């Protein structure tokens, strides 16, 4: 997942005011809290994510290539696949951009199997939740929504992000491939509930943390993974599911977990209904997104990829564009004769 699930002049986006670094919420808990005795606890450590070594960030494709890509997509149904670079303009950092903070993602097995991992996750996300909720659609979200009505109809925006910003900007339909952070799902009875309601409940269960929320949020925004004071709050309390007593988990796909079958089915149906695939702001590092590029190529659909920095599917793109998302999308909106949002 990315921030956008889980995982900056990042994968294509600009930057607005800072929101919450959601990726840090999902950082592994295998590192022992600094004030805890004994060996580190938690699940197996994954390789750290961060900027790609030797990657050529900051390139800009020439105007004729940008215009050729729009001509390829124009007036045909397009499936759009987006990644974390779409939301860097809303202040949500990514995993692979040139200014991304290296981190080892928490796995589903770690979260489910280790109380320490759940305490660390919920403590971090409680500190950052109000900040995250203030994130609003950025220029790239709004420009993409404008393109749907002018340059090309979309069969769906299939997003790897978990922030809900595409829907807030007016894109429709949106397939939240990796889920939504504003929802919580019980791992036993599958009941969905509101993250906002859970936030208030956890504040009431942890009054000392609640009293210091702004201070802890400021510190957590600056400290490296595992070094913020909130990470050492091993006494943090979190509730079980009120219906069955099961483990509550954010309704997003963790590393080591599969996306829900019905969601994947909706994404592939959107691709089947399209005549082309447009990829925006994703390095396509994980198979969850890469498979749609490969499926499009098997269906002989043209694939246009726009990202700042390399992607895993560069060799499979019909047209590969480099640059900032908002600059390229603004050029396309202007060429389509629509007012800039």
258 contact partners, CB below 8 Å, separation of at least 6: none
pLDDT tens digits for range 293-313? 999 999 999 999 999 989 999
The strand pair at 179-186 and 192-194 is best described as antiparallel
Residues 282, 310: Cα–Cα separation, whole Å:
9
Range picked from 24-28, 33-37, 286-290 for highest mean pLDDT: 286-290
- Mean per-residue pLDDT, 246-273: 96
Active site residue 199: no
What is the value of pTM for the model shown? 0.85
Spell out the CATH class of 22-54+61-120+136-182+257-335.
Answer: alpha beta
pLDDT tens digits for range 71-96? 999 999 999 999 999 999 998 876 55
Write down the catalytic residue from 114, 141, 166, 178.
178
Residues 81, 94: Cα–Cα separation, whole Å:
16
pLDDT at 103: 64
Residue 183 pLDDT exceeds 80: yes
- Mean per-residue pLDDT, 214-223: 77
Residue 169 pLDDT exceeds 70: yes
pLDDT tens digits for range 90-126? 988 765 555 545 567 889 999 999 998 999 899 989 9
Going from N- to C-terminal start, the domains of the chain cover: 22-54+61-120+136-182+257-335
> Residue 138: which of 325, 337, 338, 339 has the closest Cα?
325
Residues 318, 69: Cα–Cα separation, whole Å:
9
Are 124 and 230 in contact by the 8 Å Cβ rule? The answer is yes
pLDDT tens digits for range 219-237? 776 665 556 677 666 889 9
Peptide bond into 173 cis (omega under 30): yes
- Mean per-residue pLDDT, 189-193: 97
Residues 148, 195: Cα–Cα separation, whole Å:
30
């Amino acid at each position: 997942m990315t921030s956008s699930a889980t995982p900056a002049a990042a994968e294509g986006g600009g930057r607005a005011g800072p929101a919450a670094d959601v990726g840090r919420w999902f950082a592994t808990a295998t590192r022992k809290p600094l004030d805890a005795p004994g060996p580190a606890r938690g699940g197996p450590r994954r390789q750290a994510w961060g900027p790609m070594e030797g990657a050529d960030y900051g390139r800009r494709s020439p105007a004729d290539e940008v215009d050729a890509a729009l001509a390829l997509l124009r007036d045909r149904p397009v499936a759009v696949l987006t990644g974390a670079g779409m939301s860097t303009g809303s202040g949500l950092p990514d995993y692979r951009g040139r200014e991304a903070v290296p981190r080892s993602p928490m796995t589903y097995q770690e979260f489910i199997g280790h109380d320490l991992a759940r305490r660390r996750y919920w403590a971090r996300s409680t500190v950052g939740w109000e900040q995250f909720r203030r994130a609003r659609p950025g220029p790239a979200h709004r420009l993409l929504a404008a393109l749907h009505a002018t340059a090309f109809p979309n069969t769906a925006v299939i997003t790897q992000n978990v922030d809900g910003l595409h829907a807030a900007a007016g894109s429709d339909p949106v397939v939240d491939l990796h889920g939504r952070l504003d929802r919580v799902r019980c791992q036993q009875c599958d009941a969905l509930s509101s993250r906002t309601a859970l936030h208030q409940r956890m504040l009431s269960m942890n009054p000392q943390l609640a009293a210091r929320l702004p201070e802890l949020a400021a510190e957590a925004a600056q400290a490296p993974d595992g070094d913020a004071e909130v990470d050492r709050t091993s006494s943090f309390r979190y509730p079980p599911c009120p219906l069955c007593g099961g483990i509550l988990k954010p309704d997003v796909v963790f590393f080591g977990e599969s996306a829900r079958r019905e969601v994947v089915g909706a994404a592939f149906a959107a691709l089947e209904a399209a005549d082309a695939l447009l990829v925006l702001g994703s390095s396509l590092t994980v198979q969850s997104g890469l498979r749609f590029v490969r499926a499009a190529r098997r269906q002989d659909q043209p694939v246009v990829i726009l990202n700042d920095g390399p992607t895993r599917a560069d060799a499979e793109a019909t047209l590969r564009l480099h640059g900032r998302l908002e600059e390229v999308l603004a050029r396309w909106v202007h060429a389509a004769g629509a007012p800039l949002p």
